[in-house]
Structure 1
Amino acid sequence: MTSHAHNDSGLPHFTLTGLPGLEASQHWMFVLLGALYMVSIAGNTLILFIIKEEQSLHQPMYYFLSMLSVNDLGVSLSTLPTVMATFCFHLKKISFNSCMTQMFFIHFFSVMESGILLVMSFDRYVAICNPLHYATVLTDANVVRMGLGVIIRSFSVVFPLPLLLKRLPFCKANVLSHAYCLHPDLIRLPCGDITINNVFGLFIVLSTFGLDSVLILISYVLILRSVLAIASREERLKTLNTCVSHICAVLIFYVPMVSVSMVVRFGKNAPEYVHTLMSLMYLFVPPVLNPVIYSIKTKEIRRRLHKIRIGNKCCSGDMLKS
């Protein structure tokens, strides 16, 4: 695609890529990705439904979990249209504005996820290190403030990205390396000076993911110190057990993210599809696994799921009888 493939407003189109080198397996990828989308959307919707219905879950820890589920739904829904179009219908063209909108939402939800994991670690820190102050620190009003803080921060840092890209001239073949629009991918394409874009991109990474991961680590160092001071082994394990789901959520968010940046920096000779698969992992793994982990590890959610299952069995039994 060349520079004259511009739309009427003079803005370029972009070409999305499926899995370079694996074109023969595109339909299998479509089946796999379709299944992952279904698991993610069904799992996160179910978590939200259970938290809403189950009175015992109306507490800060689960309000933050609801935010995480809404956010994971956002991540899934912001990549779904172009991923399905690319893998299923081989529609690979995307307009400039659609691409910018998608890029905004993917990065917005990504930064949000990091912020939500940070407030969840603060929740665990207060619950374990200052249990007596838990009810006064994590009031409903403070939970709302923290939630709004996470949303506002995310919007503020990601909002300039499309505007900074819009001012640049695009004159090469605008082929992206994924089936969706990502900022690191897009800033390789313009012909103009991208210094500001690079510096701002780095600022976002350090001020959000960098800062959040350090603060999460500090909160866990303090939690561990507190836990090791507990005399009985059973109590220690019981206390740590309340953090397991959150630790898993942190790992499945940060490990793929770090792996993606490592592959981009050092995997220059890796086949193209390795880069694509790594970035798919980063966008697909957390929304699919978070509801699974929380369903397995949270007693109240498990109990509610069990009730739903029994209810369904009773209904189907009644229908068979009638």
Structure 2
Amino acid sequence: MRIILAPMEGLVDAPIRETLTHVGGIDRCVTEFVRVTHGMLPPRVFYNYAPELHNRALTRAGTPVSVQLLGSDPEMMGRHGARAVELGAEQVDINFGCPAKTVNKHKGGCVLMREPELMHAIASAVREAVPAQVPVTAKMRLGYDDRSMGVDCGVALAEAGVAEIVIHARSKVDGYRPPAYWEEIARVREAVSTPVVANGEIWTVEDYWRCREVSGCDDVMIGRGLIARPDLAARIKASQRGEPLPEMPWHDVVALVGDYARALQDRLEDRYVTGRIKQWLNYLRQGYHEAETLWPRARKIREVAPMMACLEQIAGKEEMARLRPEPSPMHVVS
């Protein structure tokens, strides 16, 4: 069993990867996608998305981090895969799953599932450009307009030589609406010899076991479920050992959010810090009723200091006092 932290654009950044891998249970992370167009990106772009490249592509907890690329030009994708490895990447992932309109409009992400031949060409180009010992993996959905392209696209990627295929169990048109069609993942898994990882609608330990039964996949990628329940990966692993863990207490979750906020202040301007915190708190409403209570006030806060004060008031001043950051020069990443 492996559990991979999903690359959620605009939320699962390096600080949240550090925070969640410290909790435990996560076997690998994937960066937000690096957008590949017509020119070669400078190293600073790779380091911005994956500062772990300075640490042998590992979080401080020792969890491997893959660099994800998104684009439609096979040659440029290959060149950027090679560049990522030169900068320290130990694994390169290709995004064929992003459903965002702006991304799809520019022929990136899930819209490529309309063209399995192009997916094959992109994956082949990256595989050929990257050293043989470095795995090239891919993430896709079940299709763009409907769920009919999963098998064809999975076969195209397998024949291109990818080492692993993550499948989000919906089409682009399905968006993120329940249910997840895990049974369709099973169809792809049966059609390829390449390892397949299931993704979509895993919010609880029970969801993991149902997904495993329906999809046939032992390995899963989890995004929103791990944001809503930061200890979910650790609890799934414990359930496999027959040693169930109690849920992480709310005050410990608030401490994680505080640690995350502190780390963000070294990377972003305050207005972006509060935005990221609110995104996390919004997802925590799925896992903790206390977050539902906190949300009406927190969503209106624009500055970091009042946000931290709000968290302290909810969790208790004694518990949160250590989270107040010491004044320090802000380092802003553009």
Normalising by the residue count of structure 2, what TM-score does the alignment of the two structures yield?
0.23
Task: Give the structure with higher Rg (CA).
Answer: 1
* Structure with the larger RCO, 1 or 2 (CA within 8 Å, 6+ apart): 1
What TM-score, normalized by structure 1, do the two folds share?
A: 0.23
- Which structure has the highest strand share of the two? 2
More helix by share: 1
